[in-house]
Amino acid sequence: MPFNKPQSFLHYVRYAQLVAQLGFFSTAFFCFILVFLTMFGVKRNFGSYKYLLILFPMVGIFFASIELIFYPNVYSNNAGYILFSTSRPFNMSQYAVTWFIGLYAGVYSSTISMLSVQFLYRYWAVFDETKLRFFKGWRFLIWIAYSIYFGFQWGFGVYYFDKIDDYAKNYLRLEMMQKYSTDFSEIAGVALVAYDKDGNIRWFNICCTLNMTAIMLVQYSIIIYCAIWMYIEMDEKVQMLSLSLRNLHKQFFKTLILQIVTPTITLFSPVMLIIYLPLLDLECDLPTGIFLSAVTLYPAMDAIIVMYIVSDYKKAAKTMLKKALDRASAWLNTVETDQSSTRTRSTATNRSAALNRS
């Protein structure tokens, strides 16, 4: 459904900014708690998985921070879309902001890549524990490099293949002026138009879509493959483990199941809608940036899922909260005792002074 009034689009821009702010503060809060509990609260040894539980939330906070600073927005019109920002934080140039938009897209790819690494770790932990050696010591850097590589491939693809050319400017200029009251000279960003005026595919732009599709296909295939086999054979494989480890694996499996459903809704679906909509060349006029802003909520949701399902986190949180309340109570009692002693001494002094005057 087209939104023909400029104020409608400006409302959606404000909504997108509010979602971005909500995403940042919720992500920062819950991810910090998850990292803190992982490092100082949980007593169980998770092995190398501990580093993934720390690294993933930190990437999420970084992603949400970029969203909060630059407020990237998306506008989809017929066979094209534009990912842009009118923000100029720290007096950055238009070129610098465009570069950060590419970085923002790249961090998104690193996020979904790191999610697939978590699934791979849990799969090997159950079915082929010897391969966990690839997560120990310096080999853990392999998975960091893996996530950075796909982040670079996605970000560079967006920056290079979706550079705003004259055809994209002419295709989107009038709509951008009418809907957002802004001109291309005022914005930094990237744009894609799937077809030229004769209906031919603009392959240079479409290479960006193909690149993103390939990356998502790789990561989602790993996630689905690991999840399906863990679902089919986990009960049989964990029977040989101790009861404690068996429960832990089942808890992490439940976590990973929710980590399929949640990113499918918040990470994959919004981006797929944005990048494939132009290929249909429908008569659409949509402020799709509101969907992109919801992506920032995922790291917070992921942290909540882990802390809710894995019992070690609930126990650690309760223990640390109890200690904090006990310390606060002890401090309040100390303050009340000091105040009472002060009042007693003051009363005694006043009585002594009164008796002396008598």
Question: Which amino acid makes up residue 258?
Answer: L
CB 344 within 8 A of CB 65: no
Model pLDDT for residues 27-45, shown as the tens digit of each residue: 889 999 989 988 888 877 7
Residues 158, 84: Cα–Cα separation, whole Å: 12
Residues 100, 62: Cα–Cα separation, whole Å: 12
Based on the fold, state whether residues 167 and 202 are members of the same structural domain: yes
CATH classification at residue 207: 1.20.1070.10
Pick from 115, 125, 117: nearest CA to 143: 117
Residues 227, 236: Cα–Cα separation, whole Å: 15
Asked if residue 1 belongs to a domain, the reply is no
Based on the fold, state whether residues 217 and 352 are members of the same structural domain: no
Residues 32, 217: Cα–Cα separation, whole Å: 30
Scored b (16 or more CB within 10 A) or e, 180-203 reads beeebeebbbbbbbbbeeeeeebe
Digits of tens for pLDDT over the chain (358 positions)?
A: 444 444 556 676 777 778 778 888 988 899 999 899 888 888 777 778 888 888 988 998 999 899 889 988 888 999 999 999 888 888 899 999 999 999 999 999 999 999 899 889 988 887 888 999 999 889 999 999 999 999 999 999 999 999 999 999 999 988 888 887 777 777 899 999 999 999 999 999 999 999 999 999 999 899 889 888 877 776 666 666 666 666 766 676 676 677 677 777 777 888 898 999 999 988 888 887 777 776 777 888 888 887 877 777 888 888 888 887 888 778 877 766 656 666 565 555 555 555 555 5
Residues 350, 244: Cα–Cα separation, whole Å: 66
Pick from 23, 25, 17: nearest CA to 70: 17
Number of domains forming the structure of the chain: 2
Based on the fold, state whether residues 245 and 197 are members of the same structural domain: yes
Based on the fold, state whether residues 146 and 286 are members of the same structural domain: yes
Based on the fold, state whether residues 164 and 245 are members of the same structural domain: yes
Based on the fold, state whether residues 324 and 300 are members of the same structural domain: no
Based on the fold, state whether residues 334 and 270 are members of the same structural domain: no
Cα-to-chain-centroid distance, residue 27? 7
181 Cβ neighbours under 8 A, 6+ residues apart: 6, 10
Residue 223: which domain range? 6-309
Asked if residue 208 belongs to a domain, the reply is yes
Residue 2: its pLDDT value, please?
44
| Assigned token pair, 205 | 């732009």
Residues 202, 276: Cα–Cα separation, whole Å: 14
Pick from 262, 255, 298: nearest CA to 57: 298
